[in-house]
A = this chain, B = another copy of it.
Amino acid sequence: MRQDGDLISRLSEQGYRLTPQRMLVLSAIANSDHHISAEEIYAQVVAKYPYVNISTVYRTLDLLKRLDLVTETDLGGGRVRYHPVDKGHHHHLVCQECGAIIDLDESVLSSLQSHLLREYKFSADLRHLAIFGRCTNCNQ
Binding site for B on A (CB under 8 A): 74, 93, 95-96, 102, 104, 108-109, 112, 115-116, 120-126, 131-136, 139
* A104 cross-chain contacts in B, Cβ below 8 A: 120
- Indicate whether A122 sits within 8 Å of B134 (C-beta atoms), given known contacts A93-B116, A116-B93: yes
CB-CB under 8 A from A96, the residues of chain B are 125
Contact A122–B133 (Cβ < 8 Å) = yes
Q: Is A133 a contact of B139 with CB atoms below 8 Å?
A: no
Asked whether, in the complex, the Cβ of B93 is within 8 Å of the Cβ of A122, the reply is yes
Minimal beta-carbon separation of A52 from chain B (angstroms): 25
In the bound complex, do residue B116 and residue A131 qualify as a contact, i.e. CB atoms below 8 Å apart? yes
Residues of B within 8 A of A122 (CB): 93, 95, 102, 131, 133-136
